């Protein structure tokens, strides 16, 4: 499985008020949160497509959050040099493949 990347370099701590729809921002209770810049990958799938517990990223990335159609992963300083327009790869389990194959929103290529 692969997902299209929109890459953003963001501060860990957001500006303003964090609402209930918080996706992609730091866990403010964490002691490791600083205001350093880090990369976040906004990926083009969400809970309507696949359960996040059924896929594992192939590279080192930390899951941040998901909505119905977008998922965010923290890449830190981006050691793999991901760029917008490239793809982020996952290893799906059986249930992920079953959901993805039945989703009308996911492009499928059999190789």
Parse the chain into domains and list their residue ranges. 2-102
Q: State whether residue 100 is helix, strand or coil.
A: helix
Q: The whole model's pTM is what?
A: 0.72
End-to-end CA distance of the chain: 12
Q: What is the pLDDT along the chain (111 residues), one digit of tens a residue?
A: 788 787 877 666 666 666 666 555 555 455 455 556 788 889 988 989 999 999 999 988 989 888 888 899 988 888 888 888 888 899 999 999 999 898 887 888 887
């Amino acid at each position: 499985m692969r997902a299209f990347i929109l890459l953003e370099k963001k501060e860990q701590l957001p500006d303003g008020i964090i609402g209930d729809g918080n996706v992609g921002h730091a866990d403010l209770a964490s002691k490791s949160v600083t205001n350093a810049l880090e990369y976040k990958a906004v990926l083009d799938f969400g809970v309507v497509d696949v359960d996040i517990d059924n896929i594992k990223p192939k590279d080192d990335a930390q899951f941040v959050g998901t909505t119905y159609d977008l998922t965010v992963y923290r890449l830190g300083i981006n050691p793999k040099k991901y760029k917008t327009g490239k793809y982020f790869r996952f290893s799906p389990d059986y249930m992920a493949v079953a959901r993805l194959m039945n989703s009308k929103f996911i492009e499928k290529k059999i190789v």
